[in-house]
Structures are given as C-alpha cells and as structure tokens.
Amino acid sequence: MRASNWTAWVAAMGISVTGWAAPETPIIRSPARGDCAARRPVFSWTVTNEKAPRYLIRITRGGSIYLDKWTQKTRWVPSFDFPEGAYEVRVVGYDGVEYGSWSARVKFRRVFTPVVSSINGLTRDGGNVQLVAGEGIAIEPVASNNSVIISACGITATQIVERSVTTEKIDNYAITYVKLADNAVYGRTLVDGAITEPKLSDQSVTTHKLADGAVTSVKLADGAVTSNKIAAGAVPLSSLAQAGASPGHALTWNGSAWTPGTLYAGYAEGYISAPSGAEGNGSVALGEGSDVMGNYSAALGGRQNQISSNANNSVVVGGAMNSIKKDSSYSVVLGGTENQVAESYSYSLGRGARATNEGTFVWSDSTVSGVGSWGPNTVTFKANGGVRFQSDSPGQANHRVQWVPGDSSWQFSSDRNLKEGFSPVDPRAVLEKVAALPVQSWRFKGYSRAHVGVMAQDFHAAFPLEGASETMIDSADLQGISLAAIQGLYAELQEARARIRVLEEKAAQP
C-alpha cells in the first residue's frame, strides 16, 4: 500500500493515526549527472531525518530495468564493472509496510577513459611534422585514422652477453611482468631452481600470466600448492576438469577420489536481478534480493525478504517483501507477501499480517488491508469469508463449527441426520431440576470480569449425560435443557389457565 493510499484509507475509516510517516524521499549524492569514468560507480544518497530500514536502488538502461538492488545502507558499490552506455538511477525507502516516494531521477553515462597511445593530425605552419625513431623507440603509422603509435622497444636475449645479467645485479622489483615482452621468459630460458618462492612477490604470478598447460603436476613439488597460497577466485569452475560428470551430476568424494554422483535436489537456472546476502553468523539467504542479518536465521526462497539484526533463530519461508524486525528472535513468517513480525516468539502468514506483540500468531486473508495482533500472547485471524472447524472421522458423525460475517455467535452442527439414540425428556421434571439449580455470580480465578451462571458439577449432578465432562458444559446441552424447562413451564401455565377458566365460570353462575 502506498503512503497516499494508506492516508486515504485512514481518513475514510475515521481513524486518527499519530507518530506514523512514510519513509523519507532520498536525495541522490552520487553518481553525478553526466559522464562517469568509474568502472564501478558509487551510489549514495541521504535523508533529512530518519533512515529507512531498507532501500531499493533501481537502475535502468535503454528504458528497461538493468538492476534492482536492496540494501540497508545509504551507500552501495557494485562488485562488477558497468558496461559503457547511458543509465538512469533512482532510490526509494521501505519500512517493511509502506514505500516512500521515489527520489529524483539521475541520468549518467558510463564512459571509458582511453589511454593516450597515438598522435593524430600533427602539423606545423601548414606542413607535416616528421617523427624520427631513436634507439629503443618504435613508431607505427596507422593510415586508417591518420595517427601514429609511439612505443618503447624491449631488450632481446641476442643483445645481452651470456651470463652478463645475474640476480645479484638486479635490484628488487627492477623487473616486472609489464617490462617483459610476450614469451620473453619460458621454461627453457630458466636455469633449474632459478625461481624460488622467496624471489616472487605476492600476486606476481596469476592465472592469466600462465600459458595453458604451463603448470602441470609433475612440475610442482610436493606441498608446493596449498590453500593459503591460492587467492580467492583464482581457480574458477570453468577451469576444473569434467571428471566424467554429466548434466545433473555432482562431484562427490568416495574416500579416495572425486567421482560423479547424482543430485537428489532439483534446481533450475534463471535470472536473478539482485543477489541475496547473509551477514549473520550461521545464516542462510536464498532467492532474489533477500537479506539476513540475524544469527542462525534463514530466508528460504522468494524475493526481497528481510531478517534484521539481532533477529536470531528466525526464518522467512518464501513469499515476497516479508520481514522479521530487529530483536524479533525465534519468529517465523510463512510465505505470502508484506507480512511482518516485530516481536519475538511470533508467527505471521498470509497477506499483510503484522505480529507486533510478543508471542502472537497472526493470519490474514488475501485482501489488501491486512491485520495486526491485538495484544501479547494472542491469536488473530482475518477471514472475510468466515471461519470453519470440521471433523472427519470415518464411521462417526462429522461435526462442523463455523462463523461467517453477519453471525452474532458460532453455529454448531445439529442436523437430525447426524444424530441417533433419540429418547424423550420430561419437561416438567427438567423444570423442577432447573428451578433447583444454584445460579450464582462469579469470576474466574485471577481475573476481574464477573459472570452469572451455574457450576458444571451442579449441572451434571442434575442432568447426568453419558460421556460428558463434569467440569465442562456443552452449550448445546445448556440450550436443550433451557428449552425443555420452558416447555415444562408452558405446560404448567396452560393448566393454570384452564383452572382459572373453570373458577371464573363457577363464579359467574347465580
């Protein structure tokens, strides 16, 4: 529900709401309008007063959504390079119930900053400038765009006297890979043992600097490659051998080697515009654009679900835009959309269910208005079509208890076809027992509300009914006894009227 719709609904219902406001409109600070040379632009924004719990960054390109990113911060830096082109960005706040207003749109163009490598159109007083290459300099003309490329020539092995260059004569870091021509150094040009680990700086050898097949297992000493010597992401999945695996298989360890095995869980690949993030200890986040900050908590499937910090041991299962708020531990949201838990030990499910008290269960139907809890340790159902409880026991009558909008009380099954063992009752005998029943005012222990009625033990002593609990009273039995007593009273009233008529007739005789 947008803030404007919420305000209109509150006004229409005649409800006075104080202290509520939709999230503030963000003001984008970066990137600036115009050209942006950064490969990974920094997206940042500010708000005047209170920061929203979550923000949605929407980036479009060519009129279509390029990326939607949810974040709890007011700054986001992508982990990938933006391609060259024109983009538009805007930001909106979301507090778990309402969206605020979108920020102003900021248009920027991602451009590449070229490295100057040519000189184009050199003239002097209308004449041409002649470029002469000196020692160690190469000049390459480019006729297609009337330019030249000026570069330094490398030193080749034929220009160096054998053994004139030794490691002792070279300063630390004097030779870097950018100073070496392609294929200048290869296995046959190195003396065995010439390159050792202490002679290599960190990150000096990376996968893109090694030719395919340059490093084999026979060229590596035992223990030369360990996990702490391999940078994160240095070995991508594409570089791993298939090892006999086919689609639907996974590599499993059989105790001595990795072998193909069958996947017993189904999966499907698809486009996810915003990855999920798990920041809490032992937390899990699956689906699109979901964030889990609580410890040992999980968002399992769905999109844009959130578990805030210190909401520990909690879970959101599927659905969209559901949230478990800060400090709401041991809580659950089961699917649906826009459901919220704001206190511990609570559940919410459906659409717009809000468990805002501790130890509550809230279920809301598909209508957009939603429903909230009404106190600690309570259960709330919102069902515009009604509520029904029904048994299904083979060989026995199936009972139904239901309430639908418009009813003033619960309705119970009383179909003759569900009943057996009929026997008449004596209305006058029932009337006498009812007249003898103690009727008192009373309160349940520990509560202040007063009631008027009979005690279950007195009721069952007067009307022993097979199978009934002596500490409970079935409302159907209470109604039946009341109706029988009324019939007994009616019969006595009729007899009294008959006797009165006889006396009146005698009195009227002369």
- CATH no. for residue 314? 2.150.10.10
Domain identity same for 458 and 494: yes
Q: Which of 363, 397, 418 is the last residue of a domain?
A: 418
In a domain, 169, yes or no: no
Domain identity same for 348 and 334: yes
Domain identity same for 349 and 365: yes
DSSP 161-181: -TT-S-GGGS-TT-S-GGGS-
In a domain, 181, yes or no: no
Taking residues 457-478, what's their average pLDDT? 92
pLDDT, tens digit (0-9, with 9 covering 90-100), for 180-202: 666 666 666 666 766 776 667 66
Domain identity same for 413 and 453: no
Give residue 12's pLDDT.
Answer: 64
Number of domains into which the chain is organized: 4
Q: Which of 110, 144, 162 is the last residue of a domain?
A: 110
| Reported confidence tier of residue 155, pLDDT bands at 50, 70, 90 | low
Taking residues 16-36, what's their average pLDDT? 81
Query: Does the pLDDT of residue 125 top 60, yes or no?
Result: no
| CATH number for the domain harbouring residue 106 | 2.60.40.10
Share of the chain above pLDDT 90, in %: 48
User: Could you tell me which residue, 206 or 357, shows the higher pLDDT?
Assistant: 357
Domain identity same for 14 and 98: yes
Provide the token pair at 477.
């039995």
Taking residues 471-480, what's their average pLDDT? 92
| Reported confidence tier of residue 172, pLDDT bands at 50, 70, 90 | low
In a domain, 96, yes or no: yes
User: Could you tell me which residue, 8 or 256, shows the higher pLDDT?
Assistant: 256
Query: Does the pLDDT of residue 220 top 60, yes or no?
Result: yes
Least confident of 41-55, 111-125, 428-442, 487-501: 111-125
Domain identity same for 25 and 80: yes
Q: Which residues pair with 128 in a beta bridge?
A: 123
Give residue 259's pLDDT.
Answer: 75
Least confident of 111-115, 142-146, 317-321, 426-430: 111-115
Give residue 59's pLDDT.
Answer: 95
Domain identity same for 51 and 80: yes
Q: Which of 110, 131, 160 is the last residue of a domain?
A: 110
Domain identity same for 471 and 493: yes
Scored b (16 or more CB within 10 A) or e, 332-345 reads bbbbbbbbbbbbbb
Taking residues 6-32, what's their average pLDDT? 71
In a domain, 161, yes or no: no
Least confident of 35-44, 104-113, 248-257: 248-257
Domain identity same for 432 and 489: yes
Q: Can you give 79-133 as a three-state secondary structure string?
A: CCCCCCEEEEEEEEEECCCCECCCCCCEEEEECCCCCCCEEECCEECCEECCCCC
Give the domain extent around 308. 278-382
User: Could you tell me which residue, 168 or 35, shows the higher pLDDT?
Assistant: 35
In a domain, 151, yes or no: no
Query: Does the pLDDT of residue 169 top 60, yes or no?
Result: yes
Q: Give every CB contact of residue 157 below 8 A, 6+ residues apart in sequence.
A: 184, 189
3-state secondary structure of 254: coil
Rounded to whole angstroms, how far apart are CA atoms 280 and 292? Answer: 6
Backbone phi, then psi, for 229, in 5-degree steps?
-95, 0
Domain identity same for 45 and 61: yes
In a domain, 23, yes or no: yes
DSSP 443-502: --TT----EEE--HHHHHHHS--TT--TT---HHHHHHHHHHHHHHHHHHHHHHHHHHHH
Closest by CA position to 142, among listed 113, 112, 124, 119? 119
In a domain, 372, yes or no: yes
| Reported confidence tier of residue 265, pLDDT bands at 50, 70, 90 | very low
Domain identity same for 29 and 89: yes
Domain identity same for 399 and 365: no
Give residue 4's pLDDT.
Answer: 47
What angle do the packed helices 427-436 and 475-508 form, to 10 degrees? Answer: 110
Least confident of 219-233, 275-289, 467-481: 219-233
Rounded to whole angstroms, how far apart are CA atoms 307 and 290? Answer: 8
In a domain, 91, yes or no: yes
Give residue 263's pLDDT.
Answer: 47
Scored b (16 or more CB within 10 A) or e, 282-320 reads ebebebbbbbbbbbebbbbbbbbbbbbeebbebbbbbbb
